[in-house]
Chains A and B, each alone.
Chain A
């Protein structure tokens, strides 16, 4: 059951002749719940773009799989950081969530009854049914995050990618978010990008640390010393209970 959904081998990425990522290897399986951590400018977002096939790597291979078979167009749900769009844009919650099905409908974007069924389910799951007709300009920050989470999961992707989901959300929604993610993780792989290691660590199953290179830790055990020692200069800040686990050293 725990099938491979993504296979990355020896990938190098460069911007303007500067190597941003080098020799990246990563396997992601259906039941994986991975935190992608690393300093700002370390290449987290670049790696995401490679995974979503927006950026072509300089060399190396990347393969997506669905039901064990390699597929050309990856089925990925994507929750971007909030600052990419105009919050005053005249568009309703419904339209935004439906746009998660963009690549499934034809170029004229006519949605079919089954898509509206998926919409109802997704709105229910993310608890935003009452907002469906509202314009996004009228939502609070937390509600907005739910809308974008709904957009990311409506297509039932094999891999869900969340870019810094912790920004702009309240603690109540944060707990709820992780509950939803754990539920989703039964059917899809989840990859969370975060520079705030503390809160993420206690929820995920494994950690990948990106700073030009990628170090993968199969267990979610991490300490400040270890991060410093292995080119991951990020701060380990937590509120409340601190994770007390230690990762194995890199080979």
Chain B
């Protein structure tokens, strides 16, 4: 135990804990939106497409995260537009963009002269090397996201629930959908630094799936997912240190274990309740 407490003496560990908290908040909010609106696959497409932005960023000598943000938002808006306005099948369009982004990233990184950057940082994340500057960036984004959801939560929920009906009431369905898909892209990009492209999708879905076992209220799923994600991230972080394994992977591993545990508890509880109801 003292070994774990000692960790808090290190700046890099404190930074990692703050990053974990910010990640949990953004993924808790956006994850609930994408899970309930069933756009997990779209989010997967945006995540991988943003790798193209990282490659271009390297090639042009600008911050790769900035490249990913621009590229991610553009592809998100592109997917939203393609699926709504044209006759391209939505899932085919997503698959195309998904692999196109990855291909573009690989090509540009290959073309970049000189030292080849360490790609594992972007593929699997590295929460332990998050800088103070990263934290400021994440913090500002988290506040903006929270503000948007706090102000428009009902509108967002009602559009996600029944878009068609919202349209009959002249709600700004398209505007809100475009803003939200851009938020999805930015959430993904902000969190690539922490858990990586390959793992960020599970931070957007596993906590929500666990939360959904215990509640079926939109707001409660958001708050519970944030708590679950933060607990999973902390536990994953500490086990990464103790067992000397990559932190991103251990966070996801812990979350999946939590899901298995929660599922079992719910199953036992339901069986007991059934037995109780049968007896009485």
Give chain A's interface residues, CB within 8 Å of chain B.
52, 54, 73, 76, 78, 80, 84-86, 89-92, 95-96, 99, 102-103, 107-109, 135, 137-138, 151
A76 to B168, CA, bound (A): 9
Inter-chain CB contacts under 8 Å: number: 67
Give chain B's interface residues, CB within 8 Å of chain A.
36, 38, 151-155, 157-158, 160-162, 164-172, 212, 215-218, 220-221
Whole-angstrom distance between the Cβ of B221 and the nearest chain A Cβ: 6
**Residue contact A135 to B216, C-beta cutoff 8 Å:** yes
**Residue contact A90 to B167, C-beta cutoff 8 Å:** no
- Chain B, Cβ-Cβ closest to A78: B168
Whole-angstrom distance between the Cβ of A97 and the nearest chain B Cβ: 12
B165: A residues at CB distance < 8 A:
78, 80, 84-85, 99, 151
A84 to B157, CA, bound (A): 15
The 6 A-B pairs at the shortest CB distance, nearest first, are namely A109-B154, A135-B216, A102-B169, A90-B216, A103-B169, A85-B162
**Residue contact B170 to A90, C-beta cutoff 8 Å:** no
Main SS class of interface, B:
helix
**Residue contact A91 to B168, C-beta cutoff 8 Å:** no
**Residue contact A90 to B155, C-beta cutoff 8 Å:** no
Known contacts A90-B212, A90-B217; A52/B168 CB under 8 A: yes
- Chain B, Cβ-Cβ closest to A151: B165
Residue of B160, B165, B170 with most partner-chain A CB within 10 A: B165
Whole-angstrom distance between the Cβ of A154 and the nearest chain B Cβ: 12
B168: A residues at CB distance < 8 A:
52, 54, 76, 78
- Chain A, Cβ-Cβ closest to B222: A90
Known contacts A84-B164, A89-B161, A92-B217; A108/B36 CB under 8 A: no
A84 to B217, CA, bound (A): 20
Known contacts A85-B162, A102-B169; A90/B218 CB under 8 A: yes
**Residue contact A91 to B155, C-beta cutoff 8 Å:** no
8 Å CB contact of A89 from B36, B152, B164: B36
Known contacts A52-B168, A78-B168, A84-B165; A99/B217 CB under 8 A: no
